[in-house]
Chains A and B, each alone.
Chain A
């Protein structure tokens, strides 16, 4: 298996623009997680899905952030409009069961200028 795939790997955009991050989980994994990592705040869970249904979105910072999982093999995290403070590395992870290990993608480094 190719592992969790994220695209793009790097994104540079201007403040106010819409940003869409993409994730393909490992086939057969029912759980998908979106994280954000910054030096100041460390690793934060934004939202997670079980069987394509959002279970907990309490970590989504504000309404500018939205996430979808239209099917078992694809998820998006959208920021609209983007702001400089959204600059971070965004990770997607998937897991076969909640108490098992999570498999992380390589991350998307987002820079908002």
Chain B
């Protein structure tokens, strides 16, 4: 089956530090990959996505590259801010002739301290 494995949290960093949150996947076929972010008290929202191998998704200073050879989609940001504190979810979806549900990782809680 399809699955997503995320780096265990929680992760605590100082402001302006470099961020990496690891994500690897297992899928039968060619998935599209997503990073969602959940701020306190809110629903999830899409942060970035990539739909094919070697694509790079980017948004708000975050980046992730779809690596088919390593089945990875690691999230990176060069300089984090306090406002980046949230829970981050890696996810995939594969079109399977009528069954296209999103498979989420367990989430990684990120806290940025001033």
Contact = CB atoms under 8 A, between A and B. Distances in A.
A60 B93 CA distance: 20
A56 B107 contact: no
A70 interface: no
B61 interface: no
A71 to B, nearest CB: 21
B3 interface: no
Interface in B28-81: 32, 34, 41-46, 49, 51
Interface stretch (A12-20, A61-69, A75-83, A100-108): A100-108
A107 B43 CA distance: 6
Contact of A45 (B32, B43, B51, B101): B101
Interface string A73-113: 00000000000000000010100001101111111000000
Contacts, number: 47
Nearest to A89: B43
B106 A98 contact: no
B14 interface: no
Taking chain B's interface residues, is the majority helix, strand, or loop, or is none over half, making it mixed? loop
A43 B46 contact: no
B43 A48 contact: no
A52 B98 CA distance: 14
Taking chain A's interface residues, is the majority helix, strand, or loop, or is none over half, making it mixed? strand
B13 interface: no
Interface residues of A, number: 21
Contacts of B93: 98-99
A99 B46 contact: no
Given A104-B45, A106-B42, A106-B43, A55 B98 contact: yes
Nearest to B93: A99
B104 A43 contact: yes
Contacts of B100: 31, 98-99
Interface of A: 4, 31, 33, 42-43, 45, 48, 50, 55-56, 91, 93, 98-99, 101-107
Interface of B: 32, 34, 41-46, 49, 51, 89, 93, 95, 98-102, 104, 106-107
14 contacts: A4-B43, A42-B104, A42-B107, A43-B89, A43-B104, A91-B43, A98-B93, A98-B100, A101-B34, A102-B44, A102-B102, A104-B43, A104-B45, A106-B41
